[in-house]
Structure 1
């Protein structure tokens, strides 16, 4: 699971500027680094009037092309450049636009599955800012039994442009229950799930979203009565 998180962060840390933007230095100079970080040395300096092309953003750094070579410019130094329209270039609005226009989202959540500790991995595809589908796999470990659930859900976000936005969803899937008993050899059980969920997303920064949700599920059993379970989840997602 930790490897999954590291892979997601490394993949989704890059965000491409909508299209390359030509700018010129308006201040006395800007420092260009060999990599995206203060620990990388300054290998070039662009002075007032010289032109740069903004290519890609990684966190608070922007990859630029200068004299047919690629370097990295600190986001704070964007205050020292202007576009061809003599306007300052700022990525602040670009970040919120990237959140609203995301198409893929991967996440990890932890919580309580009817009294058992739970962890869950998910992968979502957004048809539009308002509608998305998500496939999730969760493992819950309790004193009496272990539960493995796989569900496919459909979520509706009425206000996707809000930084803190609520969402609603319905879904279904399967639940495999493995009892933890040594006195009686109880067989594993496979049951169907039907669920409804209410949650909140909060856009943190860069490519990260915090999530909190409550999910109510009905387990369809072979007995005369079905079981109902409550799930509380808290975690985060990364997107691109």
Structure 2
């Protein structure tokens, strides 16, 4: 797949969304607005730096890292530069069918603060368990982006989509891990329920049920995941659902999909 990058218009959409999203937060983005259009263009253009047709940051993770680095350190906006940089990274990765796993909002804010304070090399090296090494000809920003990218790489994995046909008994085991169950079979149907603390249940849906040892076809599995909000857009991609990987952190899932959701409105 060809490398996908963000345009200036994409970054502005992200910024506008964040301004609205944080308007009633205890830490609003105020005053809002572009401080310097040239610095914004410079930050975005980092994705395309290279020699001839060869990009300096040719893989999606490094490309996302250099974009985030530029947005964070160029300070193109009056306020909200770090938040825009962080969400820009999440959206960039999503556009390249990648996502961050095994990390959360607190660690990501700590990471982007290290980028802003020029301590990302030490921060990343400590978490990667590595000594700090400098390569010949590297500038200080080159080193920072490299370690920034290396840390991101430890948490990046493809987002997998699609359904599988599985036994009803296996479908039940999978949704039980997320607080749901298949209960109260009657004739050829069974209820999909949410199980609350204490054991009470709420009916979510009713699906065709030929028996726990029979196959649930792809459409049934798709319907159950949709009703239980266990789809990729809910933070539970195919691998997380079928293979018991960790779901995507709520913050990451919310903001990686910003441009996808805006495109649907």
Q: TM-score range by the shorter chain?
A: under 0.3
Relative to the length of structure 1, the TM-score reads: 0.25
More helix by share: 2
Higher relative contact order (CA 8 A, sep 6+): 2
- Larger Rg: 1 or 2? 1
Relative to the length of structure 2, the TM-score reads: 0.24
More strand by share: 1
